[in-house]
Structures are given as C-alpha cells and as structure tokens.
Amino acid sequence: MLNRIYDWIDDRMDITPIWRDVADHEVPEHVNPAYHFSAFVYCFGGLTFFIVVIQIISGMFLTMYYVPDIVNAWESVYYLQNEVAAGVIVRGMHHWGASLVVVMIFLHTLRVFFTGAYKAPRELNWVVGVLLFLVILGLAFTGYLLPWDMKALFATRVGLDIAASVPFIGDWIQTLLAGDEEIIGAQTLARFFAIHVFFLPAALFVLMAVHFIMIRRQGIAGPL
C-alpha cells in the first residue's frame, strides 16, 4: 500500500533522486569513528544540528502557552511548567538544549580549527560558521529574558550594558534591542520575543542551508 502511494508520487514528482543523493553519499574513512575512534570529533557538527532541531520543535510547543507580555509572561511559564501535561519536559528540553547547543557549536568550532578545515577552499564556510555562532548566542541571550523573572531581568541588564559599551554605536544598539535606553519593560520583552522566534530563526535557516550546501559542494576536508 505505502509502496504504491510512494510510486504514485514518484511518477509525478521524481523524488527518488533527491533522497538517493543524500542516502548514497559516502562518508570518508577518516571521519568514521568505526575506523578511527578519535574521528568522533566529526560528530559535533551533526550533533549541533540535532539539538537545533530539538530547540525548534520544543520552542514551537512552548509558544502554544507562552504569552509575550509583561503581565502574563511569568505566569504563563509557571502554568506551563506546573499544570500542563508534559510541559515540564518540553520546557526542560528547551532550557537545557539552549546551553547544550552552545557547548556543541563550540566543540564543532574547535574541531574545525584544530583539523585546519577552515583553510582554502573552506574560508567562506568558516565565515558562515562564525555568523551561525553569533545567531546561536543571540538566541540564547534573547530567550533568557522571556520567563520574565528576576534572573532574566538582571542578566539582560548586564547584556544590554555590555551592548551599550560598544564604542560610538553602543547606545544605538541598546535602544534597537531594548526599545528604551533606561528600563527593561514592555517594549523590551516584545522585541526580544520577536527577535527570538522570528528574526534569528529566519537567519539561522538561511545560514544553515548555505553551510550545508557548501559542505556538499566542497566535500569534507581531508585527514591531517
């Protein structure tokens, strides 16, 4: 039955070559831990992607309960955490995943650096990687404010002060992010929410697509 549905779609859309291209692509021996155990360091990029997928899915479920305004934000998170079935698990995944993805992307960057994989012709993909790193840090920073508790407020105050200390354009960056130079308030929460769920994820998707297309085109860097 499933076969026939697949064949019907394949006759019309020719999808077999698309997934065959991915499934038949061979992994070189030097990145396969089954041959050389130390090759496990090549897993960090894929693990980063895996956690990004978990963050996206758990985040989508969080937005079903989260209310991005200063009156209801904290309570909506409290309700999700304590009253909603499996809410504590979904929130826990997003909470711990946020830290883990930063650790993973850092380990992946170390792997690329210490195997010299950033050298020609992969310099541009390193630059795309640096942008990905900034986007992930931006997601971690903007997400931290959303529970709207004291920890979130004081941490964001520190982050905004750091942003404001940038020479010449610091005040401008702070106002752009927070909506107001002096207080973290309604505008700040609305902006952080928009940045967290729309702006940065959009940038993340585009950058990851470019990253993966370049990896497929250039192939993985050779052994040391």
Q: Which residues of the shown chain bind ligand HEM in the complex (CB under 6 A)? A: 42, 44-46, 48-49, 52, 105, 108-109, 111-112, 117-118, 122, 125-126, 129-130, 132-133, 136, 208, 211, 215, 220-221
Nearer to ligand HEM, 157 or 211 (CB): 211
Q: Which of 111, 98, 105, 127 is nearest to 47 (CA)?
A: 105
Asked whether 175 and 181 are in contact (CB, 8 A), the reply is: yes
In the complex, minimum distance from the CB of residue 80 to ligand HEM, in angstroms, rounded to a whole number: 26
- Closest chain position to ligand HEM (CB): 129
Please name which of 114, 65, 117 lies closest in space to residue 94, comparing C-alpha atoms. Answer: 65
CB atoms within 10 A of CB 80: 21
Q: Which is nearer to ligand HEM, 68 or 97 (CB)?
A: 97
Shortest CB 60 distance to ligand HEM, Å: 18
C-beta of 219: minimal distance to ligand HEM in Å? 7
Residue 195 DSSP symbol:
I
What minimum distance in Å lies between the beta carbon of 122 and ligand HEM? Answer: 5
Instruction: Give 69 or 123: the residue with its C-beta nearer to ligand HEM.
Output: 123
Place of tokens 């978990």: 54
Q: Tokens 């050298």 sit at which residue?
A: 119
Cβ atoms of 27 and 84 within 8 Å: the answer is: no
